[in-house]
């Protein structure tokens, strides 16, 4: 597969990603998360008062209002300033965490530093997560990683694993040798925790086990069924590239959560974040009942912001909260920890 070098910069790529994510048809085609086959069993005797339901949890040493975060998305090009300012403003209002997009551009030059800095300026009291890609991590010096952390005064640095994207991206870097060692080094030497995430193709039980052995204690499965990054890269590259075979590649969200949750039950403590096609508080509640500690969304958040502005995003999160509270009431779960034990059933669609 030939790789284009040169004219397309990191900044213009980031802009194309956002534009395609909000306007393109970039969902999975046939594959789904699996959440639609799961339902809560109604508890007709919940024995709690709705007003007692408490959705707050602790994450990265801070108390947050909901077990929900805005996933890493953007930064590093001019329009990202407005997007990140809006995301951060609303996350601070709701006291929920957010991640910035890949900070690779900051390693290249200083031009768009502000697009990242604005996040901590507008969200001073919630967990903020920095971000860098697997392809960079193998050769990344710890002092450069610290620069990224410092720029947003991050509570953690996310490393995204995206081999599918690097495979399909015309200017991609499909060299994943040394990534696990790079992650191990960051875990050992960085001043903040490392979160390892996929971007929509899922993390398997085997990969999670290797990450845990390397010392990682926060994993975001980012499973299949939501945003198809193969789809985004195929659309970006134009229709003449015959890579449609990979559009639906990946481990669906539900089996990914189950595989990782089972590792934890074997005695290893780690924070399990569920993302990839989570559209609502009801979806999020199912992820938590399946074993996730926290739930994250990217494209649904961006779409609600693009369509309805800041108030559209507020509506989205308010709805998320109401649905989660509703599920907690209807399952007799006073706390998010109680929701973990809520009874689920899998329905076969006719
Ligand atoms: C416009 C856009 C840009 C993204 N950029 C990044 C990124 O820079 N770093 C990263 O780790 N993930 C990135 N992601 C992936 C998301 O964090 C998330 O893992 C993925 O989109 C699956 O979640 P979703 O189905 O809710 O969109 C991006 C997602 C979107 C929609």
For the segment 73-94, what is each residue's pLDDT rounded down to a tens digit? 999 999 999 999 999 999 999 9
- 227 in contact with ligand 1, CB cutoff 6 A: yes
- pLDDT per residue as tens digits for the range 136-182: 999 999 999 999 999 999 999 999 999 999 999 988 999 999 999 99
Atom of ligand 1 nearest to the CA of 99: 17
Residue with tokens 């990450």: 211
Atom of ligand 1 nearest to the CA of 278: 26
CA distances from 1 to 4, 134, 149, 171, 243 (A): 10, 20, 35, 11, 11
Dist. CA 195 → ligand 1 center (Å): 14
User: What is the model's pLDDT at position 264?
Assistant: 84
String of DSSP letters for 103-116: -HHHHH-STTHHHH
Atom of ligand 1 nearest to the CA of 220: 19
Smallest CA separation from ligand 1 atom 15, residue = 199
**Distance between CA atoms of residues 214 and 45, nearest Å:** 45
Q: Note the pTM of the prediction, 2 decimals.
A: 0.96
For residue 324, give the nearest of 308, 312, 342 by alpha carbon: 342
How far from chain centre, in Å, is Cα 304? 16
Lookup: tokens for 247: 């559009």
- 257 in contact with ligand 1, CB cutoff 6 A: no
Among 148, 164, 299, 304, name the best residue to mutate to test ligand 1's pocket (greatest count of ligand atoms within 8 A of Cβ): 299
- pLDDT per residue as tens digits for the range 212-246: 999 999 999 999 999 999 999 999 988 655 668 99
């Amino acid at each position: 597969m030939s790789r284009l070098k040169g004219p397309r910069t990191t900044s213009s790529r980031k802009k194309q990603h956002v534009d395609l994510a909000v306007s393109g048809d970039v969902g999975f085609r046939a594959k789904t998360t699996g959440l639609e086959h799961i339902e809560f069993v109604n508890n007709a005797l919940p024995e709690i008062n709705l007003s007692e339901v408490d959705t707050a949890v602790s994450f990265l040493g801070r108390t947050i209002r909901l077990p929900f975060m805005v996933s890493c998305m953007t930064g590093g090009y001019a329009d990202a300033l407005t997007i990140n300012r809006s995301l951060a403003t609303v996350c601070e209002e709701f006291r929920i965490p957010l991640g910035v997009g890949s900070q690779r551009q900051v390693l290249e030059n200083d031009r768009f530093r502000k697009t990242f800095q604005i996040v901590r300026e507008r969200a001073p009291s919630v967990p903020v997560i920095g971000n860098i890609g697997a392809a960079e991590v193998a050769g990344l010096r710890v002092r450069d990683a610290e620069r990224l952390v410092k720029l947003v005064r991050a509570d953690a640095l996310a490393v995204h694993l995206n081999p599918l994207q690097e495979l399909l991206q015309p200017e991609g870097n499909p060299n994943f040798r040394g990534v696990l060692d790079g992650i191990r080094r960051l875990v050992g030497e960085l001043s903040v925790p490392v979160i390892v995430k996929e971007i929509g193709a899922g993390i398997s039980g085997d990969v999670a086990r290797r990450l845990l052995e390397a010392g990682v204690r926060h994993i975001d499965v980012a499973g299949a069924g939501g945003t198809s990054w193969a789809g985004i890269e195929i659309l970006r590259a134009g229709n003449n590239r015959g890579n449609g075979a990979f559009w639906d590649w990946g481990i669906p969200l539900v089996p990914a959560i189950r595989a990782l949750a089972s590792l934890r039950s074997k005695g290893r403590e780690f924070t399990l974040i569920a993302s990839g096609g989570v559209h609502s508080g009801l979806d999020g509640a199912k992820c938590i009942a399946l074993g996730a500690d926290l739930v994250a969304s990217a494209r649904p958040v961006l779409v609600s912001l693009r369509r309805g502005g800041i108030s559209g995003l507020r509506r989205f999160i308010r709805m998320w909260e109401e649905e989660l509270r509703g599920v907690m009431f209807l399952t007799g779960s006073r706390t998010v920890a109680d929701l973990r034990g809520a009874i689920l059933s899998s329905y076969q669609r006719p």
